[in-house]
Amino acid sequence: MKELLTFPKDFWWGSAWSAEQAEGRGDTGKAKTVWEHWFETEPNRFYEDVGSDVTTDHFNRFKEDVQWMKKTGHNSFRISISWARMFPSDGVGEVNPKAIAFYRDLLTEMNENGIKPFANLYHFDMPVALQDAGGWESREVVDAYVHFADTCFKEFGDLVYHWFTFNEPLGPILGGYLEDFHYPNQIDFKRGAQAGFNTILAHALAIKAFKKLNLTSKIGVILNLSPTYPRSQNAYDLEAAEICDAFYTRSFLDPMVKGTFPAKLVEIMREYDQMPEYTEADLVTIKENTAQILGLNYYEPRRVKARLTAINEKSPFLPDWFFEPHNMPGKRMNIYRGWEIYERGIYDLCIDIRDNYGNIESFISENGMGVANEERFLNAEGQIEDDYRIEFVKDHLAYVHQAIQEGCDIKGYHLWTFIDCWSWINAYKNRYGLVSLDVKTGKRTMKKSGEFYKKMSDANGFEFEISKIVGTKKGGNN
């Protein structure tokens, strides 16, 4: 049976992207970022040798893009502010007046068109000179970030609806120090732990600076969160899931929202001599300056089991010493991205936040489906018929709706993303947008999903076959 799922009044319908993935270099002057440097040195690591110099060219086309936001039903949108653009002298020194003018023009254009600007301060795009000076391992870089953040609050505070210190702060730690998909491409957990701790401290110090300004907006953080499911209820599988969850979910969620660190994680890091350096004053700062709002990025769950093979203790210390991935038979996959599609995970995540994090004001800040070779789905009129994306969005939103019905304080849903954007080392391999991009010409074309998104936003909901909702109070335990 179909039922109309209506969302709360003033629900945030929108999407998100980042400066590095969408702006292009522009002509304001801009420091070289870690991504630009890495592309110069190893272009072969990037799909089809495509870097971030042009991307979606949002810098030159932002007025057109704001109209595309309206056409796709946005009432809110998350940008990121480029540290390298704001401080073109290697991320420090004098602020760039041309960058201020650009962002003020963009934010004003959004506000004048009824689109609430959500501004994120860091989305993986450190000026490379600061990375070479130690990156997040360095207290001097933390200080430079806080100065950048404070400058943004003062320059744009009258135009921004909500602020965010970081997007997915776990990402650069995993990629840069554990898994080799992010500059500086090291395999060194202890250095990663120091970078992670300093990132958490930078988050707290930015919030401390924000609170002094008495702005009407709120400040929070965007975290990539995946519920962790054990293979079975066997004690060793449960322990594996607990440890995996501590490393990959609670490591940033706990300190950034609660101001404390997960005991299991600290216990393991002490036992294996992987603790970062810190002071008691740092812990007080982190405790007293936590997120006021939380963005939840959800793409896939984590499924793990107890290790079946022994660890070579001469190899570098890594989280997977304690668990292995569980490849659950029968799971649905997005074969292009290699991610499991499990809609109920977004519900479980919302319930976790409700029950264990004070039901902090939250929103779905990213959720989306990347698909390769979408030109296969062009119709006779030249539109991509991406019904798979429409189904993906509705299936996830149905579980968000159910979580709201059960008391979760979820204020909105932001898709990743609204125009196809450059996706780091995957470049334009997989497309995520409601609007397609011709990379050669920059032409934007509405996809079928963009039309759907507008209708859904206008109606503040959609019809859904409720029998598809399972594992909730509404859907039972089947």
Q: What is the mean pLDDT of residues 430-454?
A: 96
Tokens representing 52 are 């971030």
Q: Measured between alpha carbons, how far is 9 from 118 in angstroms, rounded to an integer? A: 19
Among 53-67, 325-339, 389-403, which stretch is predicted with the lowest mean pLDDT?
325-339
Please, is 309 exposed, middle or buried when counting C-beta atoms within 10 Å of its C-beta (0-12, 13-18, 19+)? exposed
Confidence class of residue 477 from pLDDT cuts 50, 70 and 90?
A: very low
Confidence (pLDDT) at 335 = 84
Residue range 96-146, pLDDT digits in tens: 999 999 999 999 999 999 999 999 999 999 999 999 999 999 999 999 999
Q: Give the whole-angstrom CA distance, residue 8 versus residue 6.
A: 7
* Residue carrying the six token digits 């930015």: 206
What's the pLDDT tens digit per position in 323-355?
999 998 999 988 888 889 999 999 999 999 999
Statement: residue 357 has pLDDT above 50: yes
Q: What is the pLDDT of residues 173-189, one digit of tens each?
A: 999 999 988 889 999 99
112 assigned to active site: no
Topology classification of domain 2-468: TIM Barrel (3.20.20)
Q: Which helix (H) or strand (E) holds 63?
A: helix 58-71
The Cα 362–Cα 164 span in angstroms is 12
pLDDT at 172: 96
At residue 475, the pLDDT reads: 57
pLDDT at 478 over 80: no
pLDDT class of 147 with cuts at 50, 70, 90: very high
Q: State the Cα–Cα distance between residues 38 and 249, nearest whole angstrom.
A: 28
Inter-residue contact 448 to 387 (CB < 8 Å):
yes
The residue ranges of every structural domain in the chain are 2-468
pLDDT at position 471 is 72
Q: Are 244 and 228 in contact (CB under 8 A)?
A: yes
Of 20, 137, 366, 374, which residue is the catalytic one?
366
Residue 4 has pLDDT above 70, yes or no: yes
Model confidence at 466, pLDDT cuts 50, 70, 90, reads confident
Q: What is the mean pLDDT of the chain?
A: 96
